[in-house]
Amino acid sequence: MQSTFPQLLMYHAAQRPGAPAMREKEYGIWQSLSWAGLETMVKQIAGGLHLAGLGKNDHMIVLGANRPRLYATMLAVQSLGAVPIPLYQDAAAPECVYPINNAEVAFAFAEDQEQVDKLLEIRAQCPQLQHIFYDDPRGLRNYEESGLRSMDALQKIGAAHNDSQPDFFRERVAQGKPDDVGAMFFTSGTTGNPKGVVHTHDSLLNRARAGAEFDHLTNQEDVLAYLPPAWIGQNIFSYAQWLACGYVVNCPESAATATIDLKEIGPTYYFAPPRIFEGLLTSVMIRMEDAGKMKRGMFHYFMEVARKVGPTLMEGKSVGLLDRVLYALGNLLVYGPLRNNLGFSRVRVAYTAGEAIGPDLFTFYRSIGVNIKQLYGSTETAVFVCLQPDHEARADTVGVPCSGVEIKVADNGEILVKSTGLLKEYYKNPAATAEVLSADGWYHTSDAGFIDAHGHLKIIDRVKDVGRIRGGDFDGAMFAPKYVENKLKFFQHIKEVVAYGDGREKVCVLVNIDFDAVGNWAERRNLPYAGYTDLAQKPQVYELIRECVEKVNADLSADALLAGSQVSRFLVLHKELDADDGELTRTNKVRRGFIAEKYQVLVDALYAGRTSQFIETVVKFEDGRSGSVSATLRLDDAKIFAPVKAAA
């Protein structure tokens, strides 16, 4: 069996040379690249990088969106025994300094002028960064920086080298071993500097094959690669499993056209975080609110049928004849056209992970015939730890351990994992490695959870974030901030939440509204507003958010463990939380500690019982300029419910 990524490339090129390996949309037209064509591209890049001095165990960063030449560069780097390190293409230049210096990177692939400018800006801080190769030449004609060359030029010298040494590439690829380092991924760094997670070819491919076996993936799948290559989830689905299975990866023209491209491709295998699924559903509901009375009525009638029948059918169970006929009619008139409009008409398996998904959202997609499931994993586990079988998909669990995985729960509730897919180490950080990897091979996930009666894993929160309420009516009660945040984010009008309460007598939250959803809600009620800040502070919007908060409180009151996590006070922030402002990671996770410091005046005002508070915040704009946003925010109370006592 082929044991490295380049060996798999050569296998597919030999077995199916003319079959499409990748498609890229340029100027509105889809262009195909065959496996043989991809192999030729990789050979040329490898030859060029070899002449430029890239050697075994060296590191090379790749910076850009999903593009055939970016993938080919990663394969070329691996062919030489070197290690590719994908970085987030939307990261600000200073964010790239630490990974480049930590990994002693001398070589870089940059997609376009934007990424080149970013690297040139920090070059003085990264003196070892000698070679920068760019893919798209637009805007770079007059650049005279040393070590800056086009990928076209690199491929040209690589082709000449390969002509003179025809066995060079094949011999280098044959030298690759499964336990060689295959790639490095830097964590998001929520509590400090990011850590370089080192994975071997074997750890990545082992998990890729386990996932493929679980869902019966073949070389006939179509995948849309639209998420950042630096995120290991994207890397597993569109790189590791791509090479393990030999299916087709499709690269959208841009982030702005990804939704359109999704409809054109109609993938069979799809992955997205909950926010993507939520955004698609929000757009559907907004359009339905604007539809005619008859169309809207038909939609709501058949969606009721779908909620009643759809999940049962997805689980492979039988339903009554009338229900089956009504569902078939609904499929013809509503569900089928809706799946087609969303781009899900061919989806056989759809996964979501990274955050909890709302039960209503989960039920909606499964009701209309989309086989959406959840998985559990992390960068350190090469993603696949738990997966949901087709007929056992539930919104409140993350599935069962997949092939090659052992799970146990520590005394403090922490989930421990043993798997072939575990990281080799954190790069140049043995202390951090020893913290998460025990001597007998167990990985400490830092997640708190438990195995339910059906063998499914349930995640509550991060172990370090699970706290206790101190004082008040719920003194000593468990507080799980992420659990509370996710329950609030399940509402379509709420985009982001940050909850506080550990060591305090009550729980308070900062809320970001979903501007599109709330904006449409306001327009339908003839409620004028002048931008996000104005809309966020409307009294009507506060009432809308209060309803969401109190629904969550009522739900929490029925949970014996988490009744004390009910939200007592809340406010709606005057700006959206943003990764460029340091409030979110590049994977859109809230940096709770950073936000607590930045908005300390707001947190203090909530706990002091104030009804308003002035705040002025510095923000960064997309063009790099800085500015400020100020507002006097309203602070409100929410109804708390008495815990529901279990029946005797």
How confident is the model over 164-209, as pLDDT tens digits?
999 999 999 999 999 999 999 998 765 678 999 999 999 999 999 9
DSSP 8-state class, residue 124: G
Residue 354 reports pLDDT greater than 90: no
Q: What pLDDT was estimated at residue 473?
A: 87
Q: What distance lies between CA 108 and its chain's CA centroid?
A: 24
Average of per-residue pLDDT across 214-220: 97
List of residues 6+ apart from 436 with CB closer than 8 A: 380, 426, 443, 444, 446
Residue 648 reports pLDDT greater than 80: no
The amino acid at residue 575 is K
Residue 646 reports pLDDT greater than 70: no
Q: How far is CA 581 from CA 263, 490, 601, 628, in A?
A: 33, 24, 17, 11
In the numeric block, which tokens belong to residue 536?
A: 């966020």
Residue 1 reports pLDDT greater than 80: no
The amino acid at residue 480 is A
Q: What pLDDT was estimated at residue 585?
A: 86
The string of DSSP letters for 214-226 reads HTT--TT-EEE--
pLDDT > 70: what percent of the chain?
Answer: 98
Average of per-residue pLDDT across 540-560: 94
What confidence category does residue 647 fall into, taking pLDDT thresholds of 50, 70 and 90? very low
Average of per-residue pLDDT across 350-365: 87
| Helices 515-524, 539-557: inter-axial angle, 10-degree rounding | 120
Q: Between 189 and 364, whose confidence is greater?
A: 364
Instruction: Let me know the angle formed at the C-alpha of 572 by 569 and 573, rounded to the nearest 5 degrees.
Output: 125
In the numeric block, which tokens belong to residue 112?
A: 């376009």
Q: Rounded CA gap, 330 and 477, in Å? A: 46
Which 3-state string (H, E, C) describes 316-346? CCCCCHHHHHHHHHHHHHHHHHHHHHHCCCC
The pTM is what?
0.85
Q: Between 472 and 238, whose confidence is greater?
A: 238
The amino acid at residue 469 is I
Average of per-residue pLDDT across 431-459: 93
Average of per-residue pLDDT across 16-24: 97
Q: Delimit the domains of the chain by residue range.
A: 5-271, 466-637
Superfamily per CATH, domain 466-637: ANL, C-terminal domain (3.30.300.30)
Residue 592 reports pLDDT greater than 70: yes
- Average pLDDT of the chain is 93
Q: Rounded CA gap, 322 and 324, in Å? A: 5
Least confident span in 140-144, 163-167, 622-626: 622-626
| Helices 35-52, 68-79: inter-axial angle, 10-degree rounding | 60
What confidence category does residue 356 fall into, taking pLDDT thresholds of 50, 70 and 90? confident
40-63 pLDDT, tens digit each? 999 999 999 999 999 999 999 999
Residue 129 reports pLDDT greater than 60: yes
E runs forming strands in 272-419: 349-352, 372-376, 386-387, 400-401, 405-409, 414-419
pLDDT > 90: what percent of the chain?
Answer: 80
Q: Which CATH entry fits the domain spanning 5-271: 1.20.1090.10, 3.40.50.2300, 3.40.1440.10, 3.40.50.980? A: 3.40.50.980
Do the Cβ atoms of 47 and 158 come closer than 8 Å? Answer: yes
Do the Cβ atoms of 639 and 570 come closer than 8 Å? Answer: no
